[in-house]
Chain A
Amino acid sequence: MHNEKVYIIPCSGIGKATASVGRGATYKVIEDMRPETADTLCLSLLTMGDEEAALKVRGNKVITIEGCAKDCARKNVEASGRSPDISHRVHDFLKEHRDLKPETVLDVGKGGRKLTELIAEQIADEVDDLMGKT
C-alpha cells in the first residue's frame, strides 16, 4: 500500500540564502516535477503543535531540507512524533558544487538557481523511491 504523499519540508530560514535555495527546490518538486505525489506544509505549524499538520507528517513520508546546521525542519518534524525519511542540508550539496554559491536571501542568483535545480532533481527521484515508483 502506497502512502498518499511525500511531504517536503524546508526550514523557514529567514536569514540565509541557503534556506531560500531549500524552499526553491521544494516548490520546484511539488509544483513542477511531482505535483501529484509531493506537497509541503508550513513548518511553523509544526512548531505551534498544530494537530492537523502533525497528522500529515505522521501519516505520510517526509523529506526535510535545511538551510543551516541548526536543523530546524528535522527537529520540528521529530517533535511532531516521527523522524523524517530523508534529511538534507543545502550545505552538503554546496560542498559538491562550490561554484554554485547562492547570493542573497531575496535573490539567490544564477549559481543559486542552478543549485536549486540540482537539489530538486535529486529530491524528485527520492519522492519516486519513497512512493515505490522505481
Chain B
Amino acid sequence: MTRADVRQTQPTWEREKVEMEVRPTKVGVLSCSGESEAEGTIARNAVRLVMEKYRPGIVVSLCLPLYLAGDSGERDFARKVPVIAVDGCEKACSRLATEKYSGEVESCLNIRDLIEQWGVTETLSRSHPGKLEDELTERVAREIVKLVDLLVEEGKVQVENR
C-alpha cells in the first residue's frame, strides 16, 4: 500500500490533522560563510537582519560548516524546514552544501548576481562595511523577506498570527 493509499483510507479530519502536524513552522535561511569575499559579509549580515528585524521568530539559520562538523541534527536541517540558500558568489556553497549534506533547497539567491543587476560597480569591503555595503545588505535582506513570505503564502510553512 502506498502512502497515498493510506491517506485515502483516513477520514478527512485526520488527513488535515496530519498535514497540520507535519507542516514546518519555520523557514531556514542559510548563508554562505564567505569570509574572504565582501558579498559573503553582506550575505551573513542580511540573514541576521531578516532574523532580528524583518521576520523574527519565523526564520532560523545554521552555521554552514556545521554540516560537516556537526551531527545528524544539523544534517536534518533541510528535511525539517524549507531552506533558502543565500550565496555570496557563483560557487554557491550554501546551496550546494545543503544539497550535498541535507536536502533540496526551496530557493536561492546569488548576491554577486544581484549586485550586478543593481548596477553597483564600486569595490566593496568584506571587513569594514560602510554606507554602500549597509544599503546593499538591507536590499538583500528585503529580497530574502520576499522569498520567506512566498513560502508562507504557498502554505509550505505554518505561521500563526500573521
Question: A residues touching B (Cβ–Cβ < 8 Å)?
Answer: 9-15, 19, 23-24, 26-28, 31, 39-48, 50, 70-73, 75-76, 79, 105-106
* A13 contacts B63, C-beta separation under 8 Å: yes
Closest B residue by C-beta to A10: B35
A109 nearest CB across to chain B (Å): 15
**A79 in contact with B68 given A11-B63, A42-B32 (CB within 8 Å):** yes
Give complex CA distance A44, B32 in Å.
Answer: 6
**What are the 7 A-B residue pairs with the smallest beta carbon separation, nearest first?**
A12-B33, A27-B127, A44-B93, A75-B69, A72-B65, A44-B33, A72-B69
Give the contacting residue for B65; candidates A28, A46, A105; CB below 8 A.
A46
Q: Which residues of A contact B128 (CB under 8 A)?
A: 27
Give complex CA distance A43, B66 in Å.
Answer: 11
* A26 contacts B35, C-beta separation under 8 Å: yes
* A75 contacts B93, C-beta separation under 8 Å: no
Give complex CA distance A3, B96 in Å.
Answer: 32
* A47 contacts B64, C-beta separation under 8 Å: yes
Interchain Cβ contacts under 8 Å between A and B, 13 examples? A14-B44, A43-B65, A44-B64, A47-B67, A48-B96, A70-B63, A70-B66, A70-B69, A72-B63, A72-B66, A72-B68, A79-B68, A106-B52
Give complex CA distance A1, B70 in Å.
Answer: 37
Which of B31, B36, B67, B100 has most chain A Cβ within 10 Å?
Answer: B36
Give complex CA distance A40, B126 in Å.
Answer: 12
**A12 in contact with B63 given A71-B69, A106-B48 (CB within 8 Å):** yes
